[in-house]
Amino acid sequence: MLIKHADDIKSSEITPEQLYLNRRKFIASASAATVGLVASTLIPSSFATAKSGDDFKPKNPSKYNTTEDLTPYKDVTMYNNFYEFGVDKEDPAENAHTLKTKPWTVSVKGHVKKPATYNLDDLIKGLTLEDRIYRLRCVEAWSMVIPWLGFPLRDLIKRFEPTSKAKYVAFETLYSPEQMPGQSRSVLKWPYVEGLRLDEAMNPLTILATGLYGKQLPNQNGAPLRLIVPWKYGFKSIKSIVKITFVETQPPTSWNIHIPNEYGFYSNVNPEVDHPRWSQGKERRIGEFFKQKTLMFNGYTDQVASMYSGMDMKKNF
């Protein structure tokens, strides 16, 4: 057994405190290490042995689809970040059954000509649902390839008719500690909030997802409506949206509020800017053992880089 002294250990190799405190998952991970897994990764064994590429073909393939192997449905729906249901990756799948997604309303406010509170069915009525396959990265340097079912956010925004004062779009997650037990803990300031510049929200890559793998969106994945911004880190893709507000100034975002020196407003995937506690130069695809190079803008440079022309991408992280 290799034993490292504290001075020799990189921060990226340290087992996260949350994972350490969860004895059940820690023991399972340690057991997996005895049969060849590297202990420092602590990826659940189900993901290390999972086969990629479930038999799924998009009904309406998008030009943004990738030829990469899909992350299996089981892994997409059982390894999640959704702190409203717990801080460990398996917690959302275990606890999100308490979320009631029908009926569901979305409030639209701010600098728009058609503010209102919409029933979800009425909100998306007439919008064309498309199957789009994206690489969705999360900040922990793990990634998935997910076939999302949704529609471009810009198609919805046009319905609201933003005024010239609308420069940003702010989003808010449902706040209901009775349904979302994680909100009873002060892990973050609740409710969860996020935001985009209006041009980012209008980019054709930005979608509102209502499903994945051709099925209705599971609760643990952000049902019934979540944002997908594939060139940004996963926490920008806010889940279970109940409010959309068009504002003139940059809105607050949950992780920037919580740790401003680690999580900026833009949160674009940039392998050249390390997180203060780990490198972002490489990522591990769920179901794969070896890491791969992280791509600038998560591989969508051609589609989004022009929006940040002239900006300091290190200062505006």
Which residues contact residue 109 at a Cβ distance below 8 angstroms, ignoring those fewer than 6 apart?
115, 243, 244, 245, 246
Residue 289 lies in a domain: yes
Report if residue 303 sits inside a domain.
yes
Q: Distance (Å, rounded) from C-alpha 100 to C-alpha 223?
A: 9
Q: What is the pLDDT of residue 276?
A: 81
- Residue 27 is predicted with a pLDDT of 32
> Is it the case that residue 20 has pLDDT exceeding 50?
no
Q: 240 in helix, strand or coil?
A: coil
How would you classify the pairing of strands 105-110 and 142-152? unpaired
**50-87 confidence digits (pLDDT tens):** 344 456 778 777 788 888 889 999 999 999 999 999 99
Instruction: State the pLDDT at residue 12.
Output: 36
* Mean confidence (pLDDT) of the chain: 84
The pTM of the full predicted model, rounded to 2 decimals, is 0.83
For 254-277, the pLDDT digits (tens) are: 999 999 999 999 999 999 888 888
User: Residue 199's closest CA among 161, 168, 171?
Assistant: 168
- Asked if residue 99 is part of any domain, the answer here is yes
Q: What is the CATH number of the domain that holds 140?
A: 3.90.420.10
Task: Say what the pLDDT of residue 13 is.
Answer: 37
Provide the strand spans (E) within 120-229.
Answer: 130-137, 142-152, 168-173, 193-197, 207-212, 215-216, 226-228
In this predicted structure, the answer to whether residue 173 has a pLDDT above a threshold of 60 is: yes
Inform me whether the pLDDT recorded for 34 exceeds 70: no
Q: What is the pLDDT of residue 54?
A: 54
Residues of 264-286 as b/e, b for ≥16 C-beta within 10 angstroms? bbbbbbbbeeebeeeebeebbbb
Secondary structure of residue 2 in the 3-state scheme: coil
Number of domains in the chain: 1
Q: Average pLDDT in the 154-163 region?
A: 97
Whether the pLDDT of residue 113 is over 90: the answer is yes
* pLDDT higher than threshold 70 for residue 305: yes
Is 32 among the domain residues? no
Rounded to whole angstroms, the Cα distance separating 158 from 192 reads 25
Domain range for 170 is 43-308
264 belongs to a structural domain: yes
Provide the pLDDT for residue 138: 67
* Parallel, antiparallel or unpaired: strands 241-247 and 168-173: antiparallel
Q: Which amino acid is at 309?
A: S
pLDDT, position 64: 82
Distance CA 235, CA 232 (A): 8
Asked if residue 78 is part of any domain, the answer here is yes
278 to 7, 65, 257, 264: CA distances (angstroms): 15, 30, 20, 16
Structure confidence at residue 313 (pLDDT): 86
Find the mean pLDDT for residues 194-214: 96
